[in-house]
Every structure is written in C-alpha cells, then in structure tokens.
Amino acid sequence: MAEQGVAEENVPMSSAQARQLLVDRIRSVGYAGTDAVEQAMRKVERHVFVPAVSIAEAYADDVVITKRDRDGAVSSSASMPSLMALMLDQLDIRPGMKVLEVGTGTGYNAALLATVVGDHGAVTSIDIDEKVVSGARVVLDNNGFAHVRTVAADGAIGQPDGAPYDRIIATVGAWDIPRSWYSQLADGGKLVVPLRWRGQSWSVGFDYLDGQLRSYSAVSCGFVPMIGQEDGERTEIISSDGFVQLVVDADQAITSESLVGVLDQEGVERWSKATIGGGDSFDGIWLRMSATDPGCCRLSAAPEAIQQGLCRPVIAHRDPALADATSVAYLTVRPRGSGPGGPQFELGAIGHGPSGDDLAQRLCAAISAWDLDRTAIPTVVAGPTGSHSGERGSGMRIEKTSTWLELFF
C-alpha cells in the first residue's frame, strides 16, 4: 500500500489541476480579488503561452524568461502570475471596455484582459519587438483569442487608432509616462504602469481626470524596462574601485565627479530603534523618502565591496540612500535579538562625507516616520511636462522628460 501511495504522489498534475492550484494560491494572498479576474485566470491556459517550459514551471508563481538580448539581459518574459493578478485588480477592468496593453510579451495577459472585457469589449496589445508580437499572435489565434488586436509599435507612441481607451496597462517598466498615453486615455479612465523613480519601481494605479493622473494604489514591483523609451536614470560611481554606484534621476545634481571615494571617508552610524524581521519589506521607507527628500536614490554594491567592508547595505544591489553633491548615507541593519517571527534587526543609516551625518539623521527620521504607519503610501499626481498640478502643499516634485510627478502625504 505504501508503494502505491508513493506512486500516486508522483503522478504529474494535469494543466487544469495545476492552474486551479495556482489561482488558489494567488487568492490566498489577496490577489485576483475580483470575480472577473479570478475566473479569467482559472480559464485561460498559461502553459500554451510558455510552451518551452514544463507544466509545473508554467503554473509556478514565477517569471518565465522568454527572450534575452545579445548581452544576455532579459528582454521579454512572462511575469509572475500573482503580480499580473495584482495589476489586473488595480486596473479595475469591466465587460465592454476598450483596453490598450503596452508590452505584448507572450500574449497571456492580453488573453486575460480579453476574457474579462468579453465579446463587447476590445483589447489592443502593442510591442516594439515584431518577433514578440508575431509569436504572441500565433498563440492567440490558436487558442480562441483571434479577436485580440496585436500591433508592432513603440509603446512610447501608443496606438492612436482605437483611442480613447477606457484602460491602459503597461506590462513593461517605464521611467517616464509618454504624452501619448495622456491623449489616448479616456477622461475618467485608469492607467496602471510599473513606474520607476529615485531608483525604485512601483506598479501605480492612476485615475485620469481633466488632463492629470492621480494615484489610488502603489505596489512595489520589478519589470523588464520598456525598449525605445528615453531613460533618464543615471548610474554614478562613488567608490574608487568602481564597485559601488548610485542610481539617480536626470533631475538630480548627484554626480560621480564629486562623490568618487566618499566611502573611503570615515562613516557615521545612526540608529532608528525601528526593527524588522528577516522577511519584512522596507520598501515603504524608500517610497516615503522619495516623497520627502530630494536626495533620495539607490545604492548598488558589487559583492567585492561587501567583502572588503567598504559598505554594509541591507540589500547589496538595491539599497535606499540619500545623497548630495559631496556626501551619501544608506540604509543598514544590525542584529537585535529574536522575536516571535525569528531574528530581529534594527534599521539605521551609515553616512560618509562632510554632510554624511546630516544625511544619516534624515534617513533615520524617514525610518521613524515609516515605523509609525508602515502601510502609509503617498499620493502621486502626474501631468505632462509644462503643465501645473493645481495641488496645494509642499509635495516633492520630480521632473522627467514627458511628465512630472508630485508625491505627498
């Protein structure tokens, strides 16, 4: 009997069983929160869109890489199903709507969108890579989604033929919000976009009204960057050996020229008394800093820098930091015993340079403010470059090429 039981356990799941189990898991963490999104994910077969992987891999809650560029960097992929469900929840799509998707990928997300909007809705999916579009086209046609329109086009230009759209969703990372998206979105519509600023990336849900976007949700995420879009993110080296860099935006006067070697100067440690467990997220600190401090950026350190003791970031390649023309401070931790969930760590900052102590204290102040309400998310207002927000108060303004952002609590 034991041998029979083992044999039964090793029988592979069918694609249908694996799909239902995946959706059950996604629902258990609070995503696919609407009946329409849940039923679409239960119905649409993900494995036909990623035929190069096994059924188990197709229905794992993980990214499936489908294309790399000549340097080996990922240029196209099938996103984590839970993240897709979250973004579809943000989009609030309904039957009969017209939707523009920027970033066709495998075509799976377009199929989900088409299932939700139904026969009286319309989905247009665009991608700058013609091979990606043609590959998705074949799978869509062969699986009952011939009515989804696919177009090889630059996402920054959008697709004016079919506008205005009730919803626009980008499934590629965007540093900027193209002016075309403003003009192609219906007044009262919604935009969901994985948007980058100050070295971080958030899937932001925006309402569009009277020519401006106003956020109603934001969730930390990561996406393959949009190809063809002008990218205003810069990488500035700050260590003499080149192993430590800052990722900053075009509107920030933070450069390698005045910062190289700053980490060789004696560091100053400041501690916040706020603690986290090993699995706790601290992305909210970073988001708060971007809404309150003009020096907010990202520190990225190579393994060699950590091994040599040059710096002690929480996460080597993506650590929240503050910088000015001569100094830098970054987030760090130290052990603080154990709690109900396991080891605990106190959050703090290490500053280097003439104003390193001031920057470290500002970073600790942001940690303390976050610790009072770890779920607080700033409102993000956006509009085309040259327009005015109309908001009152002292929101942090971030200037991009085609758009500006204002963040405030």
pLDDT of residue 295: 98
Query: Do 214 and 245 have their domain in common?
Result: no
Q: What would the mean pLDDT of 27-49 be, rounded to a whole number? A: 96
Query: Do 299 and 205 have their domain in common?
Result: no
Query: Do 355 and 331 have their domain in common?
Result: yes
Catalytic residue, chosen from 75, 76, 79, 125, is: 79
* 8-state DSSP, 177: -
Query: Do 245 and 102 have their domain in common?
Result: no
Reported as a single tens digit per residue, the pLDDT across 336-359 is 998 787 899 999 999 999 999 999
The larger pLDDT score, comparing residue 251 to residue 65, is at: 251
pLDDT of residue 1: 37
Query: Do 291 and 154 have their domain in common?
Result: no
Q: What would the mean pLDDT of 149-172 be, rounded to a whole number? A: 96
Q: Is 79 a catalytic residue?
A: yes
pLDDT of residue 254: 96
Confidence of residue 292 (pLDDT cuts 50, 70, 90): very high
pLDDT value at 163 more than 90:
yes
Q: 159, 192, 220 — which closes off a domain?
A: 220
Instruction: Let me know if residue 289 belongs to a domain.
Output: yes
Give the CA radius of gyration of the chain.
23
* 8-state DSSP, 372: H
Q: What would the mean pLDDT of 378-400 be, rounded to a whole number? A: 86
pLDDT of residue 187: 97
Which of the residue ranges 4-13, 174-183, 314-323 would you say has the lowest mean pLDDT? Answer: 4-13
pLDDT value at 102 more than 80:
yes
Which of the residue ranges 152-166, 225-239, 300-314, 329-343 would you say has the lowest mean pLDDT? Answer: 225-239
pLDDT of residue 390: 66
What mean pLDDT is reported for the chain?
A: 92
Instruction: Let me know if residue 286 belongs to a domain.
Output: yes
Query: Do 366 and 262 have their domain in common?
Result: yes
pLDDT of residue 3: 40
Which of 208, 219, 211 shows the shortest CA–CA distance to 90? Answer: 219
CATH number of the domain bearing residue 155: 3.40.50.150
Confidence of residue 252 (pLDDT cuts 50, 70, 90): very high
Instruction: Let me know if residue 28 belongs to a domain.
Output: yes
- Domain enclosing residue 24, as ranges: 14-220
Q: Quick check: bond before 303 cis, omega within 30?
A: no
Beta bridge partners, 405, equal 382, 398
Query: Do 162 and 94 have their domain in common?
Result: yes
Confidence of residue 229 (pLDDT cuts 50, 70, 90): low
End-to-end CA distance of the chain: 63
Which of 227, 248, 241 shows the shortest CA–CA distance to 132? Answer: 227
Query: Do 249 and 159 have their domain in common?
Result: no
170, 371 Cβ separation under 8 angstroms:
no
pLDDT value at 11 more than 60:
no
CA-to-CA distance for 162 and 121, rounded, in angstroms? Answer: 12
pLDDT value at 76 more than 80:
no
Q: φ, ψ for residue 254 (rounded to 5)?
A: -120, 115
pLDDT of residue 279: 86
Query: Do 115 and 158 have their domain in common?
Result: yes
Instruction: Let me know if residue 353 belongs to a domain.
Output: yes
Beta bridge partners, 328, equal 323, 352
Number of domains forming the structure of the chain = 2
Q: What percent of the chain has pLDDT over 70?
A: 94
